Amino acid sequence: MARKVHPDRLTQRWEFQRGYKKGKKYWNRHLVIYVFRQSLSSTRLGITVSKKIGNSVKRNRLKRLIRESFRLSQQQICQGYDIVAVGRSAAVGVKCQQIQASFLQLLQRAKVCRSE
């Protein structure tokens, strides 16, 4: 069975490593993001959550919330960035609105949001 391709996601290890090494780091209580300027016309998201954080159900829920926050914020994000989001232990069990607010706050601090 063919795997579904998501052009707006980071999938390769080297893409994550480039984000960690060359990207600018921003953090708050719930998330850490690494922002790296790239030459593509779209902005892509990669998500990692450590195995130290909860069980697989909690980790996958957190990844879904981060993915949804990115989807809802996509219209405000400037194009041409790779964003690696790392979930922190304080984000487990938090409501979607709080994750969304944290994600948007970090994007604004990183100056990758369009000014409106």
Q: Do 59 and 51 contact (CB within 8 A), yes or no?
A: yes
Question: What is the percentage of the chain residues whose pLDDT exceeds 90?
Answer: 81
Question: Per CATH, which fold does 13-108 belong to?
Answer: Ribosomal Protein S5; domain 2 (3.30.230)
Q: 33 versus 40: which is more confidently predicted?
A: 33
Question: What is the percentage of the chain residues whose pLDDT exceeds 70?
Answer: 94
What does the mean pLDDT of the chain come to?
A: 92
What letter does residue 7 receive in the DSSP assignment? T
Kindly report, residue by residue over 55-112, the tens digit of the pLDDT.
Answer: 999 999 999 999 999 999 999 999 999 999 999 999 999 999 999 999 999 999 999 9
pLDDT of residue 1: 60
Residue 100 burial by CB count (10 A; 0-12/13-18/19+): exposed, middle or buried?
Answer: middle
Instruction: Kindly list the domain boundaries of the chain, sorted by start residue.
Output: 13-108
CA distances from 17 to 3, 9, 13, 106 (A): 23, 14, 6, 20
